Structure 1
Amino acid sequence: MSKDIQVDSTSEFFRAREQEFGDNPIAVRESDHYAQEYVGGIVDKWDDLIDWPRRAEGEGRFFVDQLKARGAQRVLDAATGTGFHSVQLAEAGFDTVSADGSPQMLAKAFRNGLANGGHLLQLVHADWRTLKGDVHGEFDAVICLGNSFTHLFSEHDRRKALAEFYSVLKHDGVLILDQRNYDALLDGTSTGKSSYYYCGDEVDAVPDHVDEGLARYKYTFDDGGEYFLNMYPLRRDYVRGLLRDVGFQKIDTYGDFQEKAGDHAPDFYIHVAEKSYLAELAD
């Protein structure tokens, strides 16, 4: 693996095969629990859920074009997962550092990088809340994709993570952060099926429990495997407010890649938040 990776292969989370939610799964609402969710079977099957070719077709050049339009060169993929976006960015010529909080995801990303273009990904085991201590140097852009930000359950953790993203960006850097359209889910208007993010035909992903503090999703695969993820259902405008509070001044929110979010109900929102100082907003 890359010399930059900081993963203890003897740790319990590196070796764990089964998810752990205890006797009352819907009571599990802690930011650190994701490390017990992204283990074993679900990591092995994650690429079946995404379907790399179909996902690449669905999102097109959206992220590459957003980054190139801002002259970005060095990019931190803060939630690399199995490495999909890190590989896409490497293919497009970006100098990419790939971070994740799951050791098993990082191991899978390393293998995927080699298998898809022979890329030796620069991997870092990182906690967003202490990001500056885990990654080195500054970045032109930080991307946090795959609905990953919703694994933070407390507002303190969300604000701390965003502040860390802000701090590792150069003065004119950009953060690109996405989230599921939880507004539609909470308001009862969601179709429950993602057309762009989770494209695999051999898996069914549906809400198992939803309330204002938890969106628990069940993932059922054709071989009978069942896995769960507990996430916090972030509303779109709440996230935009947090981004402003941290210091991002210009925030564009898009729906499903192709256009800015308007009256339609997209599967996902993508927030593009610029750090650049805007004098007109200071007046």
Structure 2
Amino acid sequence: MTADHRTDSGLPELGRTVQEFGDTPTEVRESTHYKHEYVQTFVDKWDELIDWRARYESEGRFFVEQLRRRGVRSVLDVATGTGFHSVRLLEEGFDTVVSADGSAEMLAKAFDNGMKFGGHILRVVQADWRWLNRDVHGEYDAIICLGNSFTHLFSERDRRKALAEFYAMLSHDGVLILDQRNYDAILDTGFSSTHRYYYCGDGVVAEPEYVDDGLARFRYRFSDGSEYHLNMFPLRKDYTRRLMHEVGFQRIETYGDFQSSYAEGEPDFFVHIAEKAYLEEALDGEVTA
């Protein structure tokens, strides 16, 4: 893994400490802007926000069991972040785990975490989802896109392109697991969160600072007084499911906070599990979309 990844301006990407949003931060709605948001100082605090131990306990074996019941052996983690799920799957004995991310800072942290937690040498690749096949090689039984990461894509064209790239890299009976915040509830009734799942760190506050139909700008405040922001697109649940279906996924199940039954406004997060295989029940018209 090389450390001299560069931005579009040609400047080294690693080591930046100041987020760049310009004079009108709520107008920043670009799919590539996350590179200016995950600065080194923010990435260094990311595990404080997640709390690996608490997240391990909160999600239990949900993802592991979903993958095992489908006979998955190889996994591409396309939004590895600091490597939590990549390390978890390696610890669980999956044959192949490749860790991709668009942020060089995140990949460097993930690589370090792989060594720190279990002595794993992560196979890391810096990749843009829209051209995933260009940067990552091979075919995988499963692709996971977790941590609300898909909401960094601001245009429908980019979302469709990324889903098509995921679809193309899956084996014939492969599965995509993608999660997102419950933006329906945030848009319709306002923000609330139990913080039981995903962002479990004590003393860290993650909440929306500004929300409209095209932007959810979240503020992250840490116990030392530092503060960072992420600009994300507020995906509605049924819209995400429709895009998956239109790209070609045949059967789509959606869980709310890892439960198959839930009231629409209750979950903090939705998890979509989209199967590529042309199953008999799908051909008979029982596709869930």
Give the TM-score range, shorter chain: over 0.9
Task: Find the counterpart in structure 1 of residue 269 from structure 2.
Answer: 268
Residue 257 of structure 1 and its aligned partner are, at CA, apart by: 1.2
Task: Find the counterpart in structure 2 of residue 255 from structure 1.
Answer: 256
Percent of matched pairs sharing the same residue: 63
Residue 142 of structure 1 and its aligned partner are, at CA, apart by: 0.1
Match for 1:159: what amino acid?
Answer: R
Structure 1 unaligned segments of length 5 or more: list them: none
Residue 189 of structure 1 and its aligned partner are, at CA, apart by: 4.3
How do 1:16-55 and structure 2 match up within 5 A? 16-55=16-55
Decide whether the 8 Å contact of 2:151 with 2:232 is kept in 1.
Answer: yes
Residue 128 of structure 1 and its aligned partner are, at CA, apart by: 0.3
- Taking the aligned partners of 1:139 and 1:79, their CA distance within structure 2 comes to 15
- Taking the aligned partners of 1:14 and 1:273, their CA distance within structure 2 comes to 34
Match for 2:79: what amino acid?
Answer: A
182-191 vs 10-19, which deviates more?
10-19
How do 1:1-16 and structure 2 match up within 5 A? 5=1, 8-9=4-5, 11-16=11-16
Task: Find the counterpart in structure 2 of residue 184 from structure 1.
Answer: 185
Residue 270 of structure 2 aligns to a residue whose secondary structure is: strand
Decide whether the 8 Å contact of 1:261 with 1:269 is kept in 2.
Answer: no
Decide whether the 8 Å contact of 1:131 with 1:164 is kept in 2.
Answer: yes
Residue 17 of structure 1 and its aligned partner are, at CA, apart by: 1.4
Task: Find the counterpart in structure 1 of residue 64 from structure 2.
Answer: 64
Q: Quick check: 1:82 aligned with 2:78?
A: no
Match for 2:41: what amino acid?
Answer: G
Q: 1:7 to 1:101 in 2, by over 3 A?
A: farther
Q: Quick check: 1:156 aligned with 2:157?
A: yes
Q: 1:216 to 1:126 in 2, by over 3 A?
A: same
Deviation string 1:211-269 (CA, Å, 9 cap, x unpaired) is: 00000000011101000000000000000000000000100000111334445510000
Decide whether the 8 Å contact of 2:4 with 2:13 is kept in 1.
Answer: no
Decide whether the 8 Å contact of 1:150 with 1:231 is kept in 2.
Answer: yes
- Taking the aligned partners of 1:102 and 1:260, their CA distance within structure 2 comes to 35
Task: Find the counterpart in structure 2 of residue 170 from structure 1.
Answer: 171
Q: 1:216 to 1:192 in 2, by over 3 A?
A: farther
- Taking the aligned partners of 2:3 and 2:118, their CA distance within structure 1 comes to 23
Decide whether the 8 Å contact of 1:9 with 1:15 is kept in 2.
Answer: no
Residue 206 of structure 1 and its aligned partner are, at CA, apart by: 1.1
Deviation string 1:24-66 (CA, Å, 9 cap, x unpaired) is: 0000000000011011211000000000000000000000000
How do 1:95-174 and structure 2 match up within 5 A? 95-174=96-175
Decide whether the 8 Å contact of 1:152 with 1:158 is kept in 2.
Answer: yes
Residue 124 of structure 2 aligns to a residue whose secondary structure is: strand
State the TM-score, normalized to the length of structure 1: 0.95
Decide whether the 8 Å contact of 2:20 with 2:37 is kept in 1.
Answer: yes
The number of aligned residues is: 279
Residue 252 of structure 1 aligns to a residue whose secondary structure is: strand
Match for 2:125: what amino acid?
Answer: V
Residue 165 of structure 1 and its aligned partner are, at CA, apart by: 0.2
Structure 2 unaligned segments of length 5 or more: list them: 285-289
Residue 87 of structure 1 and its aligned partner are, at CA, apart by: 0.4
- Taking the aligned partners of 2:142 and 2:182, their CA distance within structure 1 comes to 23
Q: CA RMSD in A?
A: 1.4
State the TM-score, normalized to the length of structure 2: 0.93
Task: Find the counterpart in structure 2 of residue 201 from structure 1.
Answer: 202
- Taking the aligned partners of 1:185 and 1:262, their CA distance within structure 2 comes to 14
